[in-house]
Amino acid sequence: MRRASSAVSAAVGAAGSWIALAGCAVLAAGCAGATNVASTAPLSARIADYARAVNMSASDVPGLRQTAAEAPEPPPTAQAAAFARCDGESSPALRVAAIASAEFSEGQAANRRSLHSVVEVLPSPAVAERNLAAFQGKLGASCYVRFVEAANRRRPGALRYGHTRMSPLPNPLAGEVPSFARRVTNILHGTGAGGRPIAITVYHDTYAFVQGSAEVALLASGSSSPVSLAAEQRLIELLYSRATVHHL
């Protein structure tokens, strides 16, 4: 899973954005006319087609602006490898591919929300399930906090993240598929222009599930207020419905 890098980048990057959608209409639109990815296509083309079919798109989040394009995730870093060793996941060098959707946002600065999804393909369903279990376990949680705090110490500038808290979120996929839903909350604090103190609560919500050898994640961030839970849950159900219709 891309979580070593996503955990740290989410905790030290810009806070992101999002707005509520029309649930059932979006879910129905995601399933309409779906077809399986052709199994005779080259692996890389099949993965790209699968990721495009499953990942979020602009039609899923009407009213939001696109702030980043769909793109493959960068190669795993040494930090990602260290995180995998910490929580017991497989080496990130084993991943077959990881493709992030476009990012969609609304709001500005201290009142901004954003979200995107990621499809990661692992060598086998067993590896995908083991990685998911490792990250959501107690060791994975403690590693996450430790790496976030280490990244915070390296963060340039006067603002710092502190008071990291982790809590479960309602998981609409519980009991259906290996999955989890979790929120990490930080306080962005420091001194702004003119010596004005700054203290902004930042929310990072992650939903993830495994379908075959693919792990699909929804990442939502909000500064000052979180993304709507109802909206997040509708989106993860939408991604799950697509992943069960399309196949690698």
Among candidate residues 6, 58, 25, the one with its CA nearest the CA of residue 221: 6
pLDDT attached to residue 9: 40
Has this prediction a pTM greater than 0.85?
Answer: no
User: Tokens in use for 186?
Assistant: 């930080």
The pLDDT value given to residue 155: 73
Residue 152's pLDDT is: 76
CA nearest neighbour of 103 among 137, 159, 55, 45: 55
φ, ψ for residue 177 (rounded to 5)? -160, 155
Q: How many CB atoms lie within 10 A of CB 63?
A: 11
Task: Classify residue 218 as left (phi > 0), alpha (psi -120 to 50) or beta.
Answer: beta
Q: How many CB atoms lie within 10 A of CB 24?
A: 9
For 3-245, the fitting CATH number among 1.10.3470, 1.10.10, 3.40.50, 3.40.1000 is 3.40.1000
Distance CA 118, CA 143 (A): 21
The total number of residues written for the chain in this structure: 248
Res 15: pLDDT: 23
Q: Between 138-154 and 3-12, two packed helices, what is the crossing angle to 10 degrees? A: 50
pLDDT by position in tens, the chain (length 248): 544 344 434 332 222 222 122 222 222 222 222 333 333 445 589 999 999 999 999 999 999 999 999 999 998 899 899 999 999 999 999 999 999 999 999 998 889 999 999 999 999 999 999 999 999 888 998 898 888 888 777 777 777 888 888 999 999 999 999 999 999 998 988 887 778 888 999 999 999 999 999 999 999 999 999 999 999 999 999 999 999 999 88
